[in-house]
């Protein structure tokens, strides 16, 4: 049996925060005809970007994440501001968080971070031949360390749970599967 769209009976805004809004939804199941309550987290689109130097190193960041109360190894990323398109936002985040920049940028597509509760998408970009052009421009709440890691080490860092951020893992998955169709990268690990 094919799933069907649910009938939305009501939607109410519950809370608003800097990075997301919380809504409650009442919807009717097309299969059971029962009414259920759901919570939806509404957010602007997100971006992340895999910045690679001409030597084949990925410019990554380490930062503390309050949700897991731990330091993560990630790629630059953030929210798409209303004035930006996703590519501009990714390049802005790259420069702000790392001080690196390039004009050689390719889209690797987008994913829905968690369609069960989030309404947004995360766009992923590949940035080639990045160069350090400035100091970092961190927000007051950010404390970011920039680290350069050979791209060939990334699959092992994922296997060893050194990279655990789901959107970062997906970004590298997209790179390893799809980038060879965009451009020949001699430093891909396989």
Q: pLDDT digit string (tens) for 25-50?
A: 999 999 999 999 999 999 999 999 99
* Residue 147 near residue 97, CB atoms below 8 Å: no
Q: Phi-psi bin for 143: left (phi > 0), alpha (psi -120 to 50), beta?
A: beta
- Give the pLDDT of residue 178: 78
* Residue 6 near residue 29, CB atoms below 8 Å: yes
- Give the pLDDT of residue 116: 97
Mean pLDDT estimate for the chain: 94
Identify the band that residue 185 occupies on the pLDDT scale cut at 50, 70 and 90: low
Domain boundaries, the chain: 7-42, 46-182
Q: What is the pLDDT of residues 152-171, one digit of tens each?
A: 999 999 999 999 999 999 99
- Give the pLDDT of residue 177: 85
* Residue 61 near residue 146, CB atoms below 8 Å: yes
Identify the band that residue 19 occupies on the pLDDT scale cut at 50, 70 and 90: very high
* Residue 40 near residue 114, CB atoms below 8 Å: no
Annotation: CATH topology of 46-182: Nucleoside Triphosphate Pyrophosphohydrolase (3.90.79)
Residue 8 has pLDDT above 90, yes or no: yes
* Residue 64 near residue 70, CB atoms below 8 Å: yes
- Report the distance separating Cα 61 and Cα 48, nearest Å: 12
- Report the distance separating Cα 58 and Cα 153, nearest Å: 10
* Residue 98 near residue 146, CB atoms below 8 Å: yes
- Give the pLDDT of residue 52: 96
């Amino acid at each position: 049996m094919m799933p069907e769209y649910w009938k939305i009976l009501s939607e109410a805004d519950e809370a608003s925060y800097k990075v997301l809004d919380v809504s409650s939804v009442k919807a009717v199941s097309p299969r059971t005809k029962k009414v259920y309550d759901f919570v939806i987290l509404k957010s602007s689109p997100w971006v992340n970007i895999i910045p690679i130097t001409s030597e084949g190193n990925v410019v990554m960041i380490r930062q503390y994440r309050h949700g897991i109360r731990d330091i993560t190894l990630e790629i630059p990323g953030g929210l798409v501001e209303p004035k930006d398109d996703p590519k501009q936002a990714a390049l802005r985040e790259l420069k702000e968080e790392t001080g690196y920049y390039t004009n050689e940028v390719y889209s690797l597509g987008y994913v829905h971070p968690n369609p069960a509760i989030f309404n947004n998408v995360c766009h992923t970009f590949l940035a080639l031949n990045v160069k350090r052009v400035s100091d970092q421009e961190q927000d007051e709440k950010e404390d970011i360390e920039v680290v350069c890691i050979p791209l060939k080490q990334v699959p092992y860092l994922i296997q060893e749970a050194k990279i655990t951020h789901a959107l970062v893992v997906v970004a590298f998955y997209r790179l390893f599967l799809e980038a060879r169709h965009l451009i020949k990268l001699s430093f891909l690990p396989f």
